[in-house]
Amino acid sequence: MTAQEILFQYCLRMGDTHNVLAHRMGEWCTNGHILEEDIAMTNIALDHIGTSRAWLIYGGDVEGKGRTEDDLAFHRDERSYFNMLITELPNGNFADTIARNFMFDAFALLYYSELANSSDETLAGIAQKAIKEAKYHLKHSSNWMVRLGDGTEESHQKMQIAINEVWRFTGNMFEMDDIDQNLADAGIGVDCEKLKDAWMSTIVNTLKDATLTIPENNYMLTGSKKGVHTEALGHMLAEMQSLARAYPDAKW
Amino acid sequence: MSVDNNQGELWEVFIQSKNNLPYKHVGSVHATDKEMALQNARDLYTRRGEGRGIWVVPSQYIVASDPQENAEFFDPSEDKIYRHPTFYVMPEGSKNI
């Protein structure tokens, strides 16, 4: 792979990660348990769309084949999507959404804090904007973790089940393949393995406040970097991409 | 304070649009605690860059005048037009005093 191809692939991974999570959060629109939370979740969706756009626009530039952000978002299939597995998990109940987002938000804040030091100015710029959003997202999701975990017996139980379910998707966030290692060594990307201890202490502290237990199961799912996904992603993309594919030149 | 509808308590929201300007009441939100009230207020009332500061206060702590008492509360000021600063001559060139 050329340096250009490596960077392009890296942009797809992060652009897809935010795009898929944005779509999941967008699915809450009109389904929030109160109007205020409905708006909070769609606000978060919009933040992720913004971050995804920045990655995909830059990816398109790096690739140099004239593909736009929309080409990349709407005209690639499941096997050509490289988002982190955790972001494609269906929303489930509200606890499932909060558990998923909390795990990712804690990662994203650490990741972008590192990426802000990237020698690639565009990536450093994306990171500086994303840090602020990630801080707010983490505040939102961790407050809910504590509120529900340390809430009623039922909310505690649902929160614990949600944590147990999402846990096996967390390892994927820290995986490093040759592409990641190449960019980390070059001072462009982030060495995600090095984020794991700090991430774990965020998780441990919040779960403690939430009176929740860290799952003992350490079996972690993998595959996203090769375009291998859970069955949920294909269905999601089919819906997300249907309009753009039915009307390729649609404007709004 | 009713929580029967399971939406939490009602909080009144005040936004400061710029530093040093007064906080103005903009509306209300539902929330079960103060962090949620602040975040909901942020998401509902500052999404278009309206604010640099937010106050939230549980609606139950707002003390309101009684509309039944409007006559004795407000009418006595109506015939005291000399309290309006309309009897001054504006110095030439000044826009406000």
Residue A41 class from Cβ within 10 Å (0-12 exposed, 13-18 middle, 19+ buried)?
Answer: buried
DSSP label at residue A193: G
Residue A210 class from Cβ within 10 Å (0-12 exposed, 13-18 middle, 19+ buried)?
Answer: buried
* Structural domains of chain A ordered from first start: 3-213+222-246 (1.20.1260.10)
- Give the tens place of pLDDT for each residue, A39-85: 999 999 999 999 999 999 999 999 999 999 999 999 999 999 999 99
d(CA A234, CA A230): 8
Between the two ends of chain A, the Cα-to-Cα distance in Å is 38
Nearest to B36 among A35, A43, A143 (CB): A143
Which pTM was predicted? 0.90
In terms of Cα–Cα distance, which of A65, A61, A80, A99 is closest to A19?
A: A80
Which H helix or E strand runs over A182?
A: helix A178-185
Both tokens of residue B81? 């037009």
In terms of Cα–Cα distance, which of A57, A49, A185 is closest to A118?
A: A185
d(CA A44, CA A35): 14
Mutation target for B interface from A29, A33, A35, A37: give the one with most B CBs within 10 A: A37
- Give the tens place of pLDDT for each residue, A118-163: 999 999 999 999 999 999 999 999 999 999 999 999 999 999 999 9
- Cα–Cα distances (Å) from B43 to A18, A43, A228, A235, B52, in that order, read 20, 7, 35, 30, 13
- Give the tens place of pLDDT for each residue, A200-249: 999 999 999 999 999 998 899 999 999 999 999 999 999 999 999 999 87
- Give the tens place of pLDDT for each residue, B72-93: 999 888 888 888 877 777 788 8
Tell me if chain A has a CB within 8 Å of the CB of B29. yes
Tokens 């707010």, located at residue: A136
Determine contact, residues A38/A207, Cβ cutoff 8 Å. Answer: no
d(CA A203, CA A222): 21
Q: Phi-psi category of A17—alpha, beta or left, where left has phi over 0 and alpha has psi -120 to 50?
A: alpha
Residue A240: CB atoms within 10 Å? 20
Residue B8 to residue A43, Cβ atoms within 8 A: no
Residue A36 Cα, gap to closest chain B Cα (Å): 6
Does B95 have pLDDT greater than 80? no
- Give the tens place of pLDDT for each residue, A164-179: 999 999 999 999 999 9
Which residues is B10 bridged to in the sheet? B30
Tell me if chain A has a CB within 8 Å of the CB of B50. no
